Amino acid sequence: MEVNLISPFADFKEQKNIDRPTMMGVLEEVFRNQLAKMYGETASFDIIINIDKGDLQILRKRTVVETVEDPAAEISLEEIRKIDDSFEVGEDYTEEIQFSDFGRRGILNIRQNLQGRIMELEKKNIYDKYVDRIGEIIVGEVYQAWKKEVLVMDEDGNELVLPKTEQIPSDFFRKGDTVKAVITSVEMRNGSPVITLSRTSGLFLERLFEQEVPEIYDGLITIKKVVRVPGDRAKVAVESYDDRIDPVGACVGVKGSRIHGIVRELRNENIDVINWSNNTQILIQRALSPAKISSIEFLDDEVRVYLKKEEISLAIGKGGSNIKLAGMLVGKQLEVYRADSEEEQDDVLLDDFNDEIEQWIIDALKGIGCDTAKSVLALPADEIAERADLEIETVEDVLKILRAEFE
């Protein structure tokens, strides 16, 4: 029984990373609790432990008295004289407790309590190990790939969780795959540590830049803000404290050498690196690049961005991702408006006349490339009639209606 109880102590110490003082404290506490159940709360014991050798000695101390009032802490002079007649009242009598004294049930209780405490210590050690590492990138191996989450094992065999919501949409993992992610939270749930990872966090992208760009790691370039639509597009605003360093060029690298690795890790996510500015108007212009802004109007609840017709699609981006990220970057609601020339602003679409001109006539005119009033008025009546296959009288009626709009 002694071998079965003591021999695992050294293994626990090595495998669970529990230091000697803590391990000895746990052992002593477990034995004292069991001894208190057996002999009473007031009983006094000396517990001597040698973890490395697997030695454990328990000595019970009782005071010799004439009349016993507390059997747990005292022994009568009459009883001690049967053992050793040299003892006197007031002296301490010490006897060794053998493992056989605990009985089978007591030994099982000690083992169970010890295993429980070791598990608690192990969980606390894992929590303490990771709670100070929030925001760090970790590389692990996929242990289980489920529908809602992926379990990742670190180098010490600890379980980390990568939820589906924290995965890039195009991520697909199999057991044994290597995963790189950032630690976003560490918390205790039902007494167990839960370490949550993320690949969609802006912090993950920021840490990837720190790994790839020495100037960021050294503090010469600062990442001011990161915004992402994971797997689609991201914008990273950077600033240099050294005028000799181009922050955008340093982050991208020669022929994109530095940013290519980040793009691959993020499943070909498009990354726009821009120069940070405290001037909101300048920052908006840089954030919407390559679109060229005609003018910007600041209102209470939004910012209106005016662009020429051919620039609007560039500013909005695929699925509206560019304008959305630009708004997130500057912290404003951006609305795109068409900045037409004066002549275009005075013009009127033919569809606006559908209450005066029949729709089939409007469609015929649009069929020859005339979709505004002025584009129709710019052509002779007979040319319109011939090209649009309309009666000349019909064309003249239409021209009369359109001219009235500008008189």
Instruction: Give the rounded distance of the alpha carbon of 58 from its chain centre.
Output: 50
- pLDDT single digits (tens) 254-290: 989 999 999 999 999 999 999 999 999 999 999 998 8
Contact 135, 207 (CB under 8 A): yes
Start-to-end Cα distance in the chain: 110
- pLDDT single digits (tens) 145-172: 999 999 999 988 899 999 999 999 999 9
Cα–Cα distance list, 186 to 131, 133, 134, 143, 198 (Å): 6, 9, 7, 19, 12
The vertex-301 CA angle with 296 and 304, nearest 5°, equals 20
Query: Residue 156: exposed, middle, or buried by beta-carbon count in 10 A (0-12, 13-18, 19+)?
Result: exposed
Residue linked to tokens 């609840």: 301
Which residue among 81, 99, 129 closes a domain? 129
**Residue among 387, 386, 393, 395 at smallest CA distance from 361:** 395
- pLDDT single digits (tens) 165-194: 999 999 999 999 999 999 999 999 988 899
Please provide the average confidence, as pLDDT, over all residues in the chain. Answer: 86
Domain shared by 297 and 400, yes or no? no
Domain shared by 324 and 247, yes or no? yes
Query: CA Rg, the chain, in Å?
Result: 40
Domain shared by 107 and 156, yes or no? no
Asked whether residue 363 is domain-assigned, the answer is yes
Residue 344 pLDDT level (bands cut at 50, 70, 90): very low
Give the integer Cα–Cα distance in Å for 248 and 259: 11
Residue linked to tokens 């929590």: 127
Domain shared by 22 and 125, yes or no? yes
Contact 291, 314 (CB under 8 A): yes
Exposure pattern of 376-394 as b/e (b: 16+ CB <10 Å)?
A: bbebebeebbeebebeeeb
Q: Is the dihedral of CA 257, 260, 261, 262 positive or negative?
A: positive
- Give the count of domains, the chain: 4
The secondary structure of 338-359 as a DSSP string is E---HHHHH--BGGGGTTTS-H
The predicted structure's pLDDT at residue 161: 96
Asked whether residue 67 is domain-assigned, the answer is yes
**Segment 199-208 mean pLDDT:** 96
Give the Cβ contact number of residue 86 at 10 Å: 8
Domain shared by 25 and 80, yes or no? yes
Asked whether residue 162 is domain-assigned, the answer is yes
The predicted structure's pLDDT at residue 1: 43
Which residue among 156, 183, 198 closes a domain? 198
CATH at 38: 3.30.1480.10
Domain shared by 115 and 143, yes or no? no
- Encoding tokens for residue 14? 């090595």
Which residue among 76, 107, 129 closes a domain? 129
Contact 71, 83 (CB under 8 A): no
**Residue among 308, 400, 393, 388 at smallest CA distance from 353:** 400
Domain shared by 118 and 60, yes or no? yes
The predicted structure's pLDDT at residue 72: 86
Q: What are phi and psi of 273, to 5 degrees?
A: -100, 125
Residue 119, pLDDT > 60, answer yes
Domain shared by 255 and 334, yes or no? yes
In sequence order, the β-bridge partners of residue 96 are: 59
233-240: strand order across its sheet? 221-229, 233-240, 270-275
| 404 phi-psi bin (left φ>0, alpha ψ -120 to 50, beta other) | alpha
Instruction: Show the domain range for 178.
Output: 133-198
Q: Is the pTM of this model over 0.85?
A: no
Give the integer Cα–Cα distance in Å for 95 and 407: 119
**Segment 321-337 mean pLDDT:** 91
